[in-house]
Amino acid sequence: MHPDQFHRKLLGVLLIVVAAGLVEPAGRLLADETYRSLHGANYVPSYGATSVETWLNYDHAIIDRELGYARKMNLNCIRVFLQSLVYHHNPRQFLANFEDFLATTDKHGLKVMPILFDSCFGVAPSLESRHIWVANPGPDRMGREWWPESDEYTTAVVSAHVNDPRILLWDVMNEPTATHLATTLEGKEQINAFLAHKCRLVKKLDPSHPITVGVATWDNTDVLNLSDVLSCHSYGRGVEAFRADLARSRDQAAAAGKPWIVTECGNPAAASTYEMVLPVLREFGVGHTVWQLIIGRDQFRSASGLVYPDGSVRRIAEVEAVMNARATGFQEKPDDQGLPLRHDIPLLIAEYLEASVRAGVTEVTWRERVTLVEAQLAQPGGFGTEADRARADVAEARKLHAVGKHAEAFAIVTALIEKMAAKYRQNPPRAAPPFAQQATIYRDVYGVPHIWADSEEAAGYAIAQAQCEDLGMQVFENLRAGVGRSAEV
């Protein structure tokens, strides 16, 4: 998710010249209380792998170019992740960058759905977060004692854009429960209190814009009384699973008497291709922002994304699915960002962890590193038989840090990260992709022959799984040997 920000006045009718029956012009979005005309994408600039980098290293030229690709594909909205840590690092610069981002999106006829907070993956941010996705403000900043700090950020951002026609709505928090904090009752209550408080604050600051909460699934039960617009995330594997998620979300919204949108969908690496999801979205008549616009530097690059930084694409067919029309002016090129295979993920994680050990734990990276360990401990089987000892070590490290014994705390956390790296390096999972739809991905996107048929049939499924795993490991080993993109972190 990525950089750029903004400012301007009037609504004005931003007519996009598109084929008949395509998407609604961006200028009409604010008048569309059903949000059916919303047709956009999530955006993380190509120069960043995290929301920290998006705003800390804000690059107007890159953002301007990449938002031009969105306009070229007839999109009318961008969903973008903000980052409170960067605001607190330099408030004036952050707000100026956000204003520039808004001005740039406006130039390209795009409305903006800013995401104020994010729980995804539960790793706290640092100014050195350059590899793995980090949260905002982080699981260690959700308690009431930290609310004044995040309220300052919220107030500065939101109050500056009351009645701003470039803002479509405020997404108060992305996937609030997608964090290890939600695995305990106390943690879940902390998340709920934080979210309710922020939703009330945003509504008080800016009654001119609706709010939503980007829940991690189709189910908005926990936020029905908070959201003006219900939001659905679905990476349903296969068309029927995806359609079922949308039907449940639609019915829930209808029962609540509220509009609904799909703010994340599309994961070609897991049987949720753009060619599959876009027709279903149109079938339901629901506004949407797919995941994601750019194939850049983030950890999702091998699994999703429509456009490379240079404007070329993985497949013309994907772009045509988004445009619902013939695509011209796009050049295909072989994938150079890795393979959408689970096999590479453990080793990529190991490399990230090893890089973290080499960099060491410092006061700047303390929050990121310690919450990274805590997130791993919350995973099933995390640290295996040593989990209890690891939890005790984390607790001891936090106590030491609290009383100023930073070097000792850093050493404990570094040792725990070393153990995590060894675990991923020595025991990489070899789970095969779960659906036969992967065949078209390997064949069409990654140039690998279609090696099985009828594999959705019960009799052939096990064979398909085995073949898929063998093929995946073969191609993955080629990558590791230097054929194609190396998996650098």
The CATH number of whichever domain residue 55 belongs to comes to 3.20.20.80
Q: Does residue 343 surpass a pLDDT of 60?
A: no
Residue 337 maps to a domain: no
- The pLDDT value recorded for residue 51 is 96
Count of beta carbons in the 10 Å neighbourhood of residue 28: 17
187 and 218, same domain (yes or no): yes
- State the number of CA atoms in the 13 A half-sphere of 192 facing the CB: 14
26-30, 152-156, 440-444: least confident range: 440-444
Tokens of 253: 């919204």
For range 354-369, the mean pLDDT: 89
State the pTM of this model.
0.80
> Is 227 a residue whose pLDDT tops 60?
yes
- Do 403 and 453 lie in one domain? The reply is no
Judgement on whether residues 318 and 216 belong to the same structural domain of the protein: yes
Determine, yes or no, domain membership for 416. Answer: yes
Q: Which residues contact 127 (CB under 8 A, 6 or more apart)?
A: 52, 56, 85, 86, 89, 364
Least confident interval from 47-61, 95-109, 282-296, 297-311: 297-311
Q: Which of 289, 323, 357 is the last residue of a domain?
A: 323
Which of 59-68, 238-247, 259-268, 446-455 is predicted with the least confidence, judged by mean pLDDT?
446-455
Phi then psi dihedrals of residue 132, to 5 deg: -110, 145
**Under 8 Å between Cβ of 303 and 326:** no
382 and 451 both lie in a single domain: no
Q: Tens digit of pLDDT for each residue in 167-196? A: 999 999 999 999 988 888 999 999 999 999
Q: How many domains does the chain have?
A: 3
263 and 162 both lie in a single domain: yes
Q: By the 8 A CB rule, do 119 and 378 touch?
A: no
Q: Are residues 366 and 459 in the same domain?
A: no
Do 94 and 133 have their domain in common? Answer: yes
What is the span of the domain harbouring residue 165?
Answer: 5-323
**pLDDT, position 466:** 40
- Note whether residue 74 is domain-resident: yes
Look at residue 329 and tell me if it is in a domain: no
CA distances from 98 to 62, 86, 94 (A): 14, 11, 6
- Considering the chain, what is the average pLDDT of its residues? 81
pLDDT average, residue stretch 71-82: 97
- Considering only 3-7, 154-158, 228-232, which range has the smallest mean pLDDT? 3-7
Structure tokens at 372: 């990274």
Tell whether the model's pLDDT for residue 97 goes beyond 80.
yes
Residue 333 lies in a domain: no
Predicted confidence (pLDDT) at residue 414 exceeds the cutoff of 70: yes
Q: Is 12 helix (H, G, I), strand (E, B) or coil?
A: coil
In a domain, 488, yes or no: no
Residues 407 and 452 in one domain: no
| pLDDT tier, 150 (very low <50, low <70, confident <90, very high otherwise) | very high
What are 384's two structure tokens? Answer: 């295996």
Residues 251-260: pLDDT tens digits?
999 999 999 9
Q: Is the pLDDT of residue 443 over 50?
A: no
pLDDT in tens, 16-59: 222 223 334 444 566 667 899 999 999 999 999 999 999 999 99
pLDDT at 346: 64
Report the alpha-carbon distance of residue 64 to residue 309 in Å, rounded. Answer: 11
Q: Which residues pair with 212 in a beta bridge?
A: 171
Task: Write out pLDDT tens, residues 194-225.
Answer: 999 999 999 999 999 999 999 999 999 999 99
Range in 199-208, 365-374, 380-389, 443-452 the model is least confident about: 443-452
Residues 403 and 289 in one domain: no
Task: State which amino acid sits at residue 136.
Answer: N
* Angle, helices 91-107/60-72, rounded to nearest 10 degrees: 30
Distance between alpha carbon 101 and the CA centroid of its chain, in Å? 18
HEC secondary structure over 304-334: CCCECCCCCECCHHHHHHHHCCCCCCCCECC
Asked if 243 and 363 sit in the same domain, the reply is: no
pLDDT tens profile 82-94? 999 999 999 999 9
Lowest mean pLDDT among 210-214, 296-300, 363-367: 296-300
SS3 state at 100: helix
If one compares 318 and 80, the residue with the highest pLDDT of the two is 80
C-alpha dist (Å) from residue 222 to 196, 216, 354:
10, 11, 38
Confidence of residue 75 (pLDDT cuts 50, 70, 90): very high
Sheet holding 111-118, edge to edge: 211-214, 170-174, 111-118, 77-81, 39-43, 287-290, 260-265, 230-234
Q: What is the pLDDT of residue 237?
A: 80
Kindly tell me if the per-residue pLDDT of 416 is higher than 80. Answer: yes
Residue 268 has pLDDT above 90, yes or no: no
- pLDDT at res. 299: 81
pLDDT at 347: 67
Please check whether residues 44 and 72 belong to one and the same domain. yes
Contacts of residue 298, defined as CB under 8 A and 6 or more positions apart, other chains included, come to 1, 44, 48, 49, 50, 133
Whether 375 has a pLDDT exceeding 70, the answer reads yes
pLDDT band at 449, cuts 50/70/90?
Answer: very low
Residue 28, pLDDT score: 55
What pLDDT sits at residue 298? 86
Domain boundary among 381, 405, 426: 426
User: Looking at the structure, do residues 314 and 370 belong to the same domain, yes or no?
Assistant: no
- Alpha-carbon distance of 334 to 321, in angstroms, equals 19
Quote the pLDDT of residue 463.
Answer: 36
Residue type, 346: P
Answer with the one of 386, 402, 426 that is the final residue of a domain. 426
Confidence at residue 130, expressed as pLDDT on a 0 to 100 scale: 82
Nearby residues of 434 by Cβ (< 8 Å), 6 or more positions away: 237, 270, 271, 465
